[in-house]
Amino acid sequence: MSSCPPSPIYRPYIVPDCLIQKVCVRFSSHQRLKIKDRRNETSVKSSPQGEFWGTEERKEVIMNTRKNLKVGFVLGFALLTFSALAWAGGVQLTCKADKSHKGATGTVTLSENNIGIQAKGLRPNGVYTVWFVNMKPKKQEAGAGQVPYMFKTDAAGNGNYTSTLSDSPFGKWEMIMIVLHPDGDPANMKKMVGALSTMIPKSN
């Protein structure tokens, strides 16, 4: 009976510790390089809500913000221009105080489309209305501006009134009258008390 060659004795291969450390170091370095490359691909920024905005997203947000600011600036400038044009050609008129309102003063800024009044020395917390008036050939009156043509003074007797006009008052009305409503009801036309008045020029 033939004899088989003796089997080699199995000896497990033991990896040296130094080799394991080298492999671990290389693997760790490789992973760090991959993470660094990924971070360099897209610069990200975390928002307070936890979302991530890339470079392209940030550029888009900045562009939209600049665009909105430009639109707001244009609208604001247009509004100022429109207001200036609305008051273009207006006149300033100094009011005369009635006997019941000695010491009161007022200035009327009047144009074809707008009226503005600034008054001082009126009754504190008083209710006043503004009227266009003709005395000849017969007495006529109409509210100056939009219903109810009124303003209320503050505790110091200061009052302001602004309104648009549907028709030009120049050449149509003779004067502007500001009257007090002692009962505080601007609709009560029976107990009105004259406060300030001014003549309207025939043209502006």
The pLDDT assigned to 49 comes to: 46
| Percent of the chain whose predicted confidence (pLDDT) is above 70 | 59
Least confident among 63-67, 98-102, 150-154: 63-67
Q: How far apart are CA 148 and CA 202, in angstroms?
A: 26
Selecting from 3.30.1950.10, 2.60.40.200, 3.40.50.10800, 1.10.150.120, what CATH number does the domain 91-199 have?
A: 2.60.40.200
| 191-203 as b/e: b if 16+ CB within 10 A | ebeebbbbebeee
- For range 142-168, the mean pLDDT: 96
Q: Which amino acid is at 31?
A: Q
The pLDDT assigned to 136 comes to: 87
**pLDDT band at residue 13 using 50, 70 and 90 as cut-offs:** very low
The pLDDT assigned to 78 comes to: 45
Tens of pLDDT along 67-106? 666 655 555 544 454 444 444 568 999 999 999 999 999 9
Nearest to residue 153, comparing CAs of 101, 188, 204, 77? Answer: 101
Nearest to residue 111, comparing CAs of 36, 159, 157, 163? Answer: 163
CA atoms within 13 A on the CB side of 118: 4
Q: Which amino acid is at 44?
A: V
Q: Where are the domains of the chain?
A: 43-88, 91-199
Give pTM, 2 decimals: 0.58
Contact 131, 195 (CB under 8 A): no
CA atoms within 13 A on the CB side of 174: 9
The pLDDT assigned to 51 comes to: 46
